Amino acid sequence: MHPSVYASIAVIAAQLIAGKAITSLYDFSLPGTFEIDSLPNAMRLKEFHELFRDYLPGYATGGSYQYRIDESGQTLEMTFSGTSFICRILESSSYFIGNVRGDAIYIFDHAASSAVNFRISGCRIDEHNNEPTVSSSDWMGR
């Protein structure tokens, strides 16, 4: 699976479960930090954030959300229950389960039988005059 799929899942889960607008993630499999803006689907993730920026954390429970990853047409369908989620790529056999705990995002890829773990290392916490303020995870309580 392409790393941007895992990152997209992490960004969406963090936004809808914890209300955190991620700008960077620490990937334990690399290991290293990468900026969300560096992903191939960064513009689509920014659109997602704009759509859900006023969304209250936790209200995703019991709901489903579909998100088109990129122009290839791959669509994620995510279902939420508390801090946990199930995600699948429509029209494929790929599916994932995961949860968000504080700044940690855990994803298990059933097709690859592997775990992917991220830590939020930066997020938008303040937006004034269309200029986001970016903060490290130490200051993310939104």
Residues 20-77 have pLDDT tens digits of 888 999 999 888 898 989 988 888 888 877 777 666 666 667 778 888 877 777 888 9
DSSP 69: -
Can you give the pTM of this predicted structure?
0.80
DSSP 137: G
Q: What is the pLDDT of residue 126?
A: 52
Tokens of 64: 């489903």
User: Model confidence at 127, in pLDDT bands (50, 70, 90)?
Assistant: low
Q: Please state, rounded to an integer, the average pLDDT across all residues of the chain.
A: 81
CB 50 within 8 A of CB 13: no
Residue 136's CB is within 10 A of a number of other CB atoms, namely 13
Q: What is the pLDDT of residue 110?
A: 93
